[in-house]
Homo-oligomer: A and B are copies of this chain.
Amino acid sequence: MKRTSLAGDGCPVARALDVFGDWWSLLIIRDASLGRRRFGEFQESLGLAKNILASRLRTLVERGILKMVPASDGSVYQEYVLTPKGRGIFPILVALRQWTEEFDEHPDEIATIMVDRDNGKPVKKLALYSQDGRVLDAAATMLKPRPAKRKRVTA
């Protein structure tokens, strides 16, 4: 009864979840984007079992979200840092955060807010825009079959 893989699915949402849609991966990525890099840092911050952490780090590296780099402090160990592909997950973290800020039942339990580093002001809410600058909600969008990429039909 293997956990069904979504990797072959045509839906881009499912494909993303296949990569980091489990309980811990996104939290590891969140920690990494906050500057944590060491096995021990992740483990202490997240409080998950070490075998699971090891396993998650391994697959995140395999999938190009994290990469291992030699010790920044001269020690023998490795550190885990986000690749560009991993940093690309940032908007997803922001969207999750903002959803909680807007809808959580106990907003008083939210510990932090995200601010602009330059002036300390809260960031704006994410919004989806059309090419001509209107804000779109779900009902204003549609899914279209992806146009097939034609392979050098020229000539």
A15-B110, A99-B91, A100-B12 known; A142-B130 Cβ under 8 A: no
Whether A34 is near chain B, meaning CB under 8 Å from some CB there, is yes
**B126 contacts A128, C-beta separation under 8 Å:** yes
How distant is the Cα of A127 from the Cα of B95 in the complex, in angstroms? 10
**A140 contacts B115, C-beta separation under 8 Å:** no
A4-B47, A123-B130 known; A11-B94 Cβ under 8 A: no
Chain B: minimal CB distance from A1 (Å) = 9
**Residues on B with beta carbons closer than 8 Å to the beta carbon of A140:** 116-118
**B123 contacts A16, C-beta separation under 8 Å:** no
**Residues on B with beta carbons closer than 8 Å to the beta carbon of A97:** 12-13, 16
Chain B: minimal CB distance from A47 (Å) = 7
